[in-house]
């Protein structure tokens, strides 16, 4: 109130993970809409988001002061800039000064479950980022589902939080649930494999949320074999598809650790869970196929598989997953047209292709927009990537389609090789062809040092398509 920010106003946060993120609870209590920003974006991109949501105040940590200084003129709605952890000069309010100017009085705002609590901008893997508006009821519902049904957190748990807070998986599905359960929470600014391993050991962490690329980097550390990870009871993975071979390696490396996977999205919230029991069952050869599943719908979630003509499909028929739950987004901020495309008659069109088996387990085949149609045949990149990950020379891989005069779309792959493990393009193609139908195999393999990914660890296929389409 000392800076004139009231209920309904948007306040943005441009910062890596830090304890000051707890101010989110104070902002929510006052009815202020929290907007966590992707600090990987450029100044121009961030300025567009601030203008779109008409943010009035921005918290900035010391690592992003220079970026923020470069965007101030491009964000005219922002009246106050607050610096965290460092002096920023004229025009900035020090964080400690702002906190000191507050009072102990309860906020007077009348905040209800249906009010917007948070705006999280989508990662833009399928186009320009959109502001996903989630209500207080939605945020709390997702946090409770995660803390209880998915993770089973308790006050004696010690949580390691490394996922970025601008991502729903970092804030709603792990950080908030840990706080809600009364668990001890250790925040790291970001992911660095050796730092995470040291934290797991020294703080006797009991649960951690990692995406597949992080798990791969952790397992690649030579010292992980001898590390004392006896306290780690649960590894929660989500946010991007998990290659089955990588999951098997993780389960072998951590035999006493339980595993849980969740499928969801910023728009749809937490949708399904492949729980600990399913992972234990999947250690048996007869049930190993469960590792390819993203589980069964969580409580109060309905999922249906819909075909191109709009009909609900039977078991094992591939179609688009549609979700209905009380914790879904309200809609896209100031974008009714985009909202109407994905929210229809109470159902959210996820854009994910998949199917359900006879037991109700869900399987994601691919993103609808990522499917490759080559020579009239449908190819799902994740299937091909699953084979590439089994190649002894491949550390990371992404499969995508590029225009072709013969095939219309040509299947190609970008591959990161394991250090000290050379391989030629033809060797990788030949080994893939031994496991897949010919039309599914890459026609070309591009060797790269790294794959472009968003904050959730999802590969930016559109960026790869742009990069390699002209070759």
In-domain check, residue 334: no
Whether 100 and 144 share a structural domain: no
Could you tell me which residue, 455 or 74, shows the higher pLDDT?
74
Clarify whether residues 142 and 101 are in a common domain. Answer: no
CATH of the domain at 94: 3.40.50.980
Could you tell me the CATH number of the domain that includes residue 381?
Answer: 3.30.300.30
- Do residues 361 and 301 share a domain? yes
Q: Which domain holds residue 184?
A: 137-326+346-367
Indicate if 355 and 387 belong to the same structural domain: no
- CA-based torsion, 450, 263, 10, 127: positive or negative: positive
What is the residue whose two structure tokens read 């939080």? 161
Tens digit of each residue's pLDDT (9 = 90 or more) over 394-453: 999 999 999 988 888 899 999 999 999 999 999 999 999 999 888 899 999 999 999 998
**Does residue 125 fall inside a structural domain?**
no
Do residues 382 and 412 both lie within one domain?
yes
At 273-292, the pLDDT tens digits run 999 999 999 989 899 899 98
Q: What are phi and psi for residue 343, nearest 5 degrees?
A: -110, 110
In a domain, residue 1? The reply is no
Locate tokens 């970008």: which residue? 414
Q: What percent of the chain has pLDDT over 70?
A: 98
Same domain, residue pair 82 and 208: no
Looking at the structure, do residues 306 and 183 belong to the same domain, yes or no? yes
The number of distinct structural domains making up the chain is 3
Contacts of 329 (CB under 8 A, 6+ apart): 132, 133, 134, 138, 266, 267, 268, 269, 343, 348
Residue 123 scores a pLDDT above 70:
no
pLDDT in tens, 146-172: 999 999 999 999 999 999 999 888 888
Q: Tell me whether residue 189 is exposed, middle or buried, using C-beta atoms within 10 angstroms of its C-beta: 0 to 12, 13 to 18, 19 or more.
A: middle
Domain identity same for 84 and 142: no
pLDDT above 60: residue 125: no
Residue 403 to residue 20: CA distance in whole angstroms:
47
Query: Are 78 and 97 in a shared domain?
Result: yes
């Amino acid at each position: 109130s000392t800076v004139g920010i009231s209920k309904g106003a948007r306040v943005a946060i441009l910062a890596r993970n830090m304890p000051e993120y707890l101010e989110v609870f104070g902002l929510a209590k006052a009815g202020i809409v929290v907007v966590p920003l992707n600090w990987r974006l450029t100044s121009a991109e961030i300025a567009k988001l601030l203008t779109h949501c008409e943010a009035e105040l921005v918290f900035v940590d010391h690592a992003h002061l220079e970026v923020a200084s470069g965007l101030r003129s491009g964000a005219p709605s922002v009246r106050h800039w607050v610096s965290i952890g460092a002096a920023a000069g004229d025009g900035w309010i020090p964080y400690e000064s702002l906190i000191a100017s507050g009072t102990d009085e309860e906020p007077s705002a009348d905040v209800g479950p249906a009010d917007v609590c948070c705006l999280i901008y989508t990662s833009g893997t399928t186009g320009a980022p959109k502001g996903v508006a989630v209500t207080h009821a939605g945020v709390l519902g997702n946090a409770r589902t995660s803390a209880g049904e998915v993770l089973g957190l308790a006050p004696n748990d010690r949580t390691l939080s490394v996922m970025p807070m601008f991502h729903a998986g970092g804030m709603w599905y792990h950080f908030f649930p840990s706080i809600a359960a009364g668990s001890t929470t250790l925040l790291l600014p970001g992911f660095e494999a050796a730092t995470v391993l040291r934290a797991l050991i020294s703080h006797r962490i009991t649960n951690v949320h990692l995406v597949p690329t992080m798990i791969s980097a952790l397992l690649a550390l030579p010292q992980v074999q001898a590390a004392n990870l006896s306290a780690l009871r649960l590894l929660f993975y989500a946010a991007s598809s998990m290659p089955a071979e990588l999951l098997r390696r993780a389960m072998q490396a951590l035999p006493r650790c339980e595993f849980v996977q969740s499928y969801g999205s910023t728009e749809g919230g937490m949708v399904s869970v492949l729980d600990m029991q399913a992972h234990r069952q999947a250690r048996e050869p007869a049930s190993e196929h469960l590792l390819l599943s993203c589980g069964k719908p969580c409580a109060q979630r309905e999922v249906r598989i819909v075909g191109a003509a709009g009909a609900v499909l039977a078991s094992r028929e591939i179609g688009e997953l549609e979700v209905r739950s009380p914790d879904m987004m309200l809609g896209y901020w100031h974008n009714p047209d985009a909202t109407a495309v994905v929210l229809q008659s109470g159902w959210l069109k996820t854009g994910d292709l998949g199917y359900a088996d006879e037991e109700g387990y869900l399987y994601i085949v691919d993103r609808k927009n990522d499917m490759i149609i080559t020579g009239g045949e449908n190819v799902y990149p994740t299937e091909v990537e699953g084979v590439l990950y089994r190649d002894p020379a491949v550390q990371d891989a992404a499969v995508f389609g590029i225009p072709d005069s013969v095939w219309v779309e040509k299947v190609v792959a970008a591959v990161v090789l394991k250090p000290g493990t050379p391989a030629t393009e033809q060797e990788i193609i030949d080994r893939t062809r031994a496991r897949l139908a010919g039309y599914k195999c890459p026609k070309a393999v591009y060797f790269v040092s790294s794959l472009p990914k968003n904050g959730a660890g999802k590969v930016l296929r559109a960026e790869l398509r742009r990069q390699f389409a002209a070759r």
